[in-house]
Amino acid sequence: MDSLQQRLQAFLEQPSPGWLGHLLGSLEARTGVPRYYLATGSVTFLGLYLMFGYGASLLCNLIGFVYPAYASIRAIESSAKEDDTTWLTYWVVYGLFSVAEFFSDTFLYWFPFYYAGKSLFLVWCMVPVSWNGSQVIYRHLIRPWFLRHHQTVDSVLNDLGGRAAAASKEVSKEAVKRTLLRTTED
């Protein structure tokens, strides 16, 4: 446990770890409380709030959306392709998770600490490590299913597109016909 604590302290003490380091440095200067205690206290408060607080669903969804949306916009604006792929993969997994959650929400909300677990899952899906959750889930579940079934899905979507176009054309013809009938009656 000491090594984890030491690594966290070393990370927090880096001269420029980004906006988080700037925020913690500013808070440390104002309060006199060391960064390590500010960071661990904030994470503890966040975890407890996700377990027992009112509005944990909103907070959990913000955790899964705000930073990934910001990182996705940065990826769009950058010239590198790797970050685009990383965040597209995250959104595919996030979307599938949201759909699955919609159909199982009646059962999932009965589990204690559901939102804390969901938040940890979403953080795992966005953390920049080699065992990133969205990459693991995509590689082992989504991609194999997609490769087996994408031709069938494409065929169904093309058929639905053709049917929608035909229905739209028929509705347009009917609308023009009714408009002409009203015009001639007047």
Q: At what angle do helices 82-108 and 56-77 cross, to 10 degrees?
A: 160
Q: Is 36 found in the same domain as 75?
A: no
Q: Is 169 found in the same domain as 79?
A: yes
pTM of the model: 0.66
Q: Is 47 found in the same domain as 28?
A: yes
Contact status, residue 38 vs residue 24, Cβ threshold 8 Å = yes
pLDDT digits 0-9 by tens, 41-100: 777 777 776 777 677 778 888 889 988 999 999 999 999 888 899 999 999 999 999 998
Please count the structural domains in the chain.
2
Q: Is 117 found in the same domain as 93?
A: yes
Q: Is 65 found in the same domain as 33?
A: no
pLDDT digits 0-9 by tens, 1-14: 567 777 777 766 76
Determine the structural domain holding residue 34 and report its residue range: 1-52
Q: Is 134 found in the same domain as 87?
A: yes
Q: Is 114 found in the same domain as 69?
A: yes
